[in-house]
Structure 1
């Protein structure tokens, strides 16, 4: 715990070595987080680096009495991913205005391993991937996704329906192999 405090103190002083230590200490977990939202390695690293820059810039806002450093960093980096998604214009603006009870009850990743989940997510278009990750993997509600991404409710529902339909096809194909 003292080592973490020393690293954080160094980050507050803009010490590059401390920032590098913090970056690499959390790199695997934060890379996996960004991989939930982006398939392209360049986008994954851009989101991760943008998020870490926010961590370094706002390190004074971290309060250990309010929670673990990991959780705070996770939230900051997830928000950096959401900012990248929001800044991109979604390629699809179709809307779905039907009852979502079947989508909220269906979890395509319920019995999947992380390697499989990333493989399945890689096959979804970027905006659909992001909405799917937020809903099924991060536990966001449709309203929360709408707020975070700037999409309309119907567009979020369409992406969830699209991800469910595409993933069903992918699961069927993978079982045939």
Structure 2
């Protein structure tokens, strides 16, 4: 679906603010794919991503007065979805606390396979990461947050953020190496 023009978007947002169900449905369908692509990176699977996405859209619809007209709606929406994913992580982190030192050392191998695999496969690989590593990886690598910002958002130390990123990268390298072996075993 094409991106909404500013005037059309503002009319749609005004309808949403008034509680117009048709406007809310149209906003949801217009930005579903974009929002889902964000939520998938922060979730372990599609069902979890849908839960985050729906929570995020609820926040969007109930906080439209916080969106500043003239600024990018997609950027604001992205921030809401990321913060919703962080909230989801915080609510569930007691179930995800794990210590995994088997990946703490960097393997020293640079696996550059990003061009060989699709975005969907990359997301699937990221989803394999334990939640604490996945969220730090996404915030640092994809969203561009600094470790200090991540530590503050997740209520962890800067050292933990750095460690989780290192472990996430190591796990992804190992997973990519395995993927490469499985997909290119006939190519040498």
TM-score interval w.r.t. the shorter chain?
0.7 to 0.9
Q: TM-score, normalised by structure 2?
A: 0.80
Instruction: Provide closer, same or farther for how the CA distance between residues 107 and 91 of structure 1 changes in structure 2, counting only shifts above 3 A.
Output: farther
**Kept after mapping to 1: 8 A contact 2:111/2:173:** no
Matched residues, number: 168
For the residue of structure 2 that corresponds to 1:52, the secondary structure is helix
Instruction: Provide closer, same or farther for how the CA distance between residues 123 and 93 of structure 1 changes in structure 2, counting only shifts above 3 A.
Output: closer
Q: CA RMSD in A?
A: 2.4
Larger Rg: 2
Pairwise CA distance, 1:94: 7.6
Once the two structures are superposed, what CA deviation does each residue of 1:33-92 show, in whole Å capped at 9, x if it has no partner? 001100222221111111111111111121222x11111111111111111112222413
Q: Aligned residue for 1:91?
A: 97
Q: Aligned residue for 1:141?
A: 146
**Kept after mapping to 2: 8 A contact 1:94/1:158:** no
Q: TM-score, normalised by structure 1?
A: 0.84
Once the two structures are superposed, what CA deviation does each residue of 1:75-122 show, in whole Å capped at 9, x if it has no partner? 111111111112222413689xx9xxx9xxx89786564223212112
Task: Specify every segment of 5 or more residues in structure 2 that has no aligned partner in the other structure, as ranges.
Answer: 183-188
CA distance, structure 1, for counterparts of residue 12 and residue 57 of structure 2:
14
Match of 1:76 among 76, 80, 89: 80
1:148-167 equivalence runs, <5 A:
148-167=153-172
**Do residues 15 (structure 1) and 20 (structure 2) align?**
yes
Q: Aligned residue for 2:32?
A: 27
